[in-house]
Chain A
Amino acid sequence: MAVADQRNRGTILALTGPAYLWLTVTIFLPLSAMLYCSFLDKSPLVPQPASLTLKHYAAFIERPVYQQLMLWSLELGAVVTICCLIIGYPAALALAKVIKGRWREAMFLMVVLPFWSNALVRTFSWTMVLRPGGLADQAIHVVAPDAPALNLLYSYPAVVVGLVHSYLPYMILTCYISLQAIDDSVIEAARSLGARSGALFRRVVFPMSLPGVLAGSALIFVPAVGSFMEPRILGGAKGATLGMAVEEQFTVTANWPFGAALSFLMLGAVLLICLALYPAARKRMEGL
């Protein structure tokens, strides 16, 4: 299927050209400028001339607090991705293989719709649910009137709930798309050859849906690491991320070069992790 051929060059260029030209003008060039900026001692647009420096990257090494924040952010991203996978995959499986007919489309759309609302409004709604005297608290006291007051707001779990809620549709969507592509006849064939449900899932269904799992995980892990809005609103003093520190360099200190350096360090870490995990996943896909 994958053809390496001179004749295809025109086709490849025609297919990828528009998207990548667009990305180049609006993302790659501006971000390259930002990357260059991270090596300058002054923000661009400042009247004084700037000179090259490594001090912003050195600051990351010299100030352990930023390394700590990086670790926390990566950990948060991992926790959120894993939660989304555990919750989202079975839901996608139900959607793709159990639910039939019109219900399937309707439910699929119902999964995606919540994130056609504003993230800030959604996050704010969560504070109404999680705060003391909030809806979760009241609901529990209807069932168990003697239970102690429930305060989930301003805690790590609250941040995770908010982020999982925001990103769960990503996982369900990508897993559904690849699960739905698995022909039922393949599953039937395997079953008729005597495969039991567990083995069928492990050996056939899961490996075939791995592209979706990987795409979903990347689309969740990568932005979740950089999150700052949900940690701030739901985490209060307990939510500290590197994303917040980046934001601070643009809104308080006006130190774009340092903010840019922190972002690119974050990007580097995320890419390294994804690249490190990719070969293992690829092996599973090929060992199908």
Chain B
Amino acid sequence: MSKSNSRITRRRFVAGAGAIGLGAAAGVIGAPRILSAAGKITVLNWQGYGTDEAWAVEAFKKATGVEVVHDYFNSEPEMITKLRTNPGAYDVVLTNSAWNGIASGEGLIQAVDTAQISHFDDLNPSLRDSALLSKDGKVYGVSWVWGMTAIAYNTEKVKPAPESVEVLWDPKFAKRVSVRDDAIEAVSYGAIATGQDMNHPKDLDKVKAKLLGLKPQIATLWSSEDEWNKLFQSGTFDVSVYWSGSAARSKTNFKLPVGYMVPKEGGIGWFDGLAVAANAPNIEGAHKFINYMVDPTFYVEWATTVGAPASANTKANEQLPADDVGRQIHSDQAAIKRLQFMAPLSDDERQTYSDLWTEVKTEFAK
């Protein structure tokens, strides 16, 4: 290989690479511009949480002509940060019962015009009219779905079916238990197991002592539904705190032997509302989209093909097939009565719970 030859090749390579790079780069700039041409809304949500299902986005566009673009968050504080730093960028944003008030209090979301939500009257009144989704008598979040955070277990290994939260501390399942690496969820369960108010436990030392008792039990901590499924499938644990909609999915989609129960001592309930961002560029489109999201047609398809939490729309839940796993889990009235719903926490409370959980985890790691 001669020297001059090698130099040409090198130069060509660099030029070629640069051209590819700039081309792709232009694609990055170009993409949003094309989208903004027609009617468009931007939705801020967790990834893979209903609103971004490809078929739903397509059906919505067909019906209304409005294109749906997504942006995602990985934690609620991040959702707030994205709203704060991108004013006017979002139309619809998902806020749960504990965060809607924080967002509305800061003026990050605007009141919903419920007259534009034709399904509004069909929504479960206890969720629809909850103080957690409204401010000054106005609705700031249209209740969309609700679910539970309770206990999932392997029906082949855990017999008889457990009824108490104490199953997590049962020496029979030493090294066979998993909980989510989440400070607030952990403290909530510590409070439930010690008979305290889940949101604002008075005796945190008791909660901490109870959680420390999990040390011999824990196989690992999980942090995402995907991880949970893979760990469960590979037999890493038998009992775990888990979300109801996800449990239904694990059972329906992956045929995993999952049993689900709300402990007799109580369980965590939560509900999510769809809100319209302050300064939303397309308020009309946002309302249309929210209405489509609480429409039974969308919900039934989502729940049966993908798996979903329970809809806030009572009519939507009734349209599910009777043998639907999610429907069975979410229609146990006795279990629902045992739920305590997640309430907003003050910054200090969140910090205290986080410190406590960090201390517990550090003990686990020793």
Taking CB atoms, residues of chain A closer than 8 Å to B365 are 72, 235, 237-240
A254-B220 contact given A69-B362, A240-B361, A240-B365, CB 8 Å threshold = no
8 A Cβ contacts from A196-253 to B: 232-233, 235-240, 245, 248-253
| CA A254 to CA B181, docked complex, whole Å | 16
CB-CB under 8 A from A258, the residues of chain B are: 351
Which chain A residues lie closer than 8 Å to B234 at the CB level? 131-133
Is B236 positioned at the interface, with any CB of A under 8 Å from its CB?
yes
Binding site for B on A (CB under 8 A): 45, 47, 63, 65-66, 68-69, 72, 131-133, 153-154, 232-233, 235-240, 245, 248-255, 258
A274 to B316, CA, bound (A): 62
User: Is B205 interfacial (CB-CB < 8 Å)?
Assistant: no
Given A45-B85, A237-B221: A250 and B358 interface contact (C-beta under 8 Å): no
Asked if B166 is at the interface of the complex by the 8 Å CB criterion, the answer is no
With both chains docked as a complex, state the minimum distance between the C-beta of B210 and any C-beta of chain A, in angstroms: 16
A72 / chain B contacts, CB cutoff of 8 Å: 365
* B183–A252 CB distance below 8 A: yes
Q: Which of chain A's residues have a CB closer than 8 A to the CB of B80?
A: 254
Bound form: Cα–Cα A133–B75 in Å: 33
Q: Does B77 lie within 8 Å of A254, measured CB to CB?
A: yes
Residues of A within 8 A of B235 (CB): 132-133
The one of A45, A153, A237, A251 in contact with B361, judged by C-beta atoms closer than 8 angstroms, is: A237
Given contact pairs A251-B74, A251-B77, A251-B78, a sample of 7 additional A-B residue pairs in the complex whose CB atoms are under 8 Å apart: A47-B106, A65-B358, A233-B227, A235-B365, A248-B358, A250-B75, A253-B183
> What's the nearest-Cβ distance from chain A to residue B103, in Å?
12
Q: Chain A at the B interface: mostly helix, strand, loop or mixed?
A: helix
B364 contacts A238, CB within 8 Å?
yes
When the two chains form their complex, are residues B85 and A252 in contact, meaning their CB atoms are under 8 A apart? no
User: Does B351 lie within 8 Å of A240, measured CB to CB?
Assistant: no
Name B's A-contacting residues (CB within 8 A): 74-75, 77-78, 80-81, 84-85, 106, 181-184, 218-221, 223, 227, 234-236, 347, 350-351, 354-355, 358-359, 361-362, 364-365
Q: Report chain B residues within 8 Å CB of A240.
A: 358, 361-362, 364-365
**Once the chains are docked, how many angstroms separate the CA of A63 from the CA of B358?**
11
Q: Is the pair B351, A236 in contact by a Cβ cutoff of 8 Å?
A: no
Cross-chain pairs A/B with CB under 8 angstroms, 16 sampled: A45-B84, A63-B359, A65-B359, A66-B358, A69-B362, A232-B223, A233-B227, A236-B221, A237-B221, A240-B358, A248-B358, A252-B77, A252-B182, A253-B350, A254-B77, A255-B351
Chain A residues within an 8 Å CB radius of B236: 131-132
**Which B residue sits closest to A44, measured CB to CB?**
B84
Please judge, given known A-B contacts A45-B84, A254-B350, whether A236 and B219 are in contact too, CB under 8 Å: yes
Measured between C-beta atoms, what is the minimum distance from B46 to chain A in Å? 13
**Bound Cα distance A237, B364 (Å):** 6
Does B78 contact A154, Cβ atoms closer than 8 Å?
Answer: no
Which of chain B's residues have a CB closer than 8 A to the CB of A45?
81, 84-85
Choose among A47, A63, A69, A236 the residue with the greatest number of B CB atoms under 10 Å from its CB.
A236
Q: How distant is the Cα of A240 from the Cα of B358 in the complex, in angstroms? A: 9
Q: In the complex, which residue of chain B has the Cβ closest to the Cβ of A235?
A: B365
**In the bound complex, how far is the Cα of B352 from the Cα of A253, in angstroms?**
9
Task: Give the residue name and chain of the A residue nearest to B85 (CB).
Answer: A45
Residues of A within 8 Å of B184, CB to CB, are 252
Residues of the A chain whose Cβ atoms lie less than 8 Å from the Cβ of B354:
248-249, 252-253, 255
A-side contacts of B362, CB under 8 Å: 65, 68-69, 240
Nearest Cβ in chain B — how far from A52, in angstroms? 18
* Cα separation A154 to B365 with both chains bound (whole Å): 10
Tell me, in angstroms, the Cα distance from A66 to B355 when the chains sit together: 9
The smallest beta-carbon distance between B358 and chain A, in angstroms, is: 6
Closest 5 CB pairs of A and B: A236-B220, A254-B77, A251-B75, A240-B365, A237-B364
Tell me how far the C-beta of A224 lies from the nearest C-beta in chain B, rounded to whole angstroms.
17
The answer to whether A254 and B218 touch across the interface, beta carbons within 8 angstroms, is no
Cα–Cα distance between A16 and B269 once the two chains are bound (Å): 57
The residues of B that contact A250 with a CB separation of less than 8 Å are 75, 77-78
Q: Are A232 and B75 in contact (CB under 8 A)?
A: no
Which residues of chain A come closer than 8 Å to B85, judged between CB atoms? 45
User: Please, how many angstroms separate the alpha-carbon atoms of A282 and B96 in the complex?
Assistant: 56
* Nearest residue, chain A, Cβ from B182: A252
> Which chain B positions have C-beta within 8 A of A235?
365
What residues on A are CB-neighbors of B355 within 8 Å? 63, 65
A237 to B85, CA, bound (A): 35
For the complex, what is the distance from the CA of A120 to the CA of B96, rounded to whole Å? 28
Which residue from chain B places its CB closest to the CB of A245 in the assembled complex? B358
| Max chain B C-beta neighbours (<10 A), residue from A47, A63, A240 | A240
Across-interface contacts of B78 in A (CB, < 8 A): 250-251
Q: Which residues of A contact B223 (CB under 8 A)?
A: 232
> In this complex, what residue of B is CB-closest to A231?
B365
Q: How far is the CA of A68 from the CA of B218 in the complex (A)?
A: 21
B220 touching A255, Cβ below 8 Å: no
A73: min CB distance to chain B, Å? 12
Is B218's CB under 8 angstroms from A237's CB? yes
Contact B220 A252 (CB under 8 A): no
Name the CB-closest residue of B to A154.
B220
Nearest chain B CB to A50 CB, angstrom units = 12
Q: Which among A63, A68, A154, A253 is the interface contact of B219 at CB below 8 angstroms?
A: A154
Distance in angstroms between the alpha carbons of A245 and B361 in the assembled complex:
10
CB-CB < 8 A to A238: which residues of B?
364-365
C-alpha spacing A245/B226, complex, angstroms: 23
Bound: A227/B218 CA distance, A = 23
B residues within 8 A CB of A65? Answer: 355, 358-359, 362
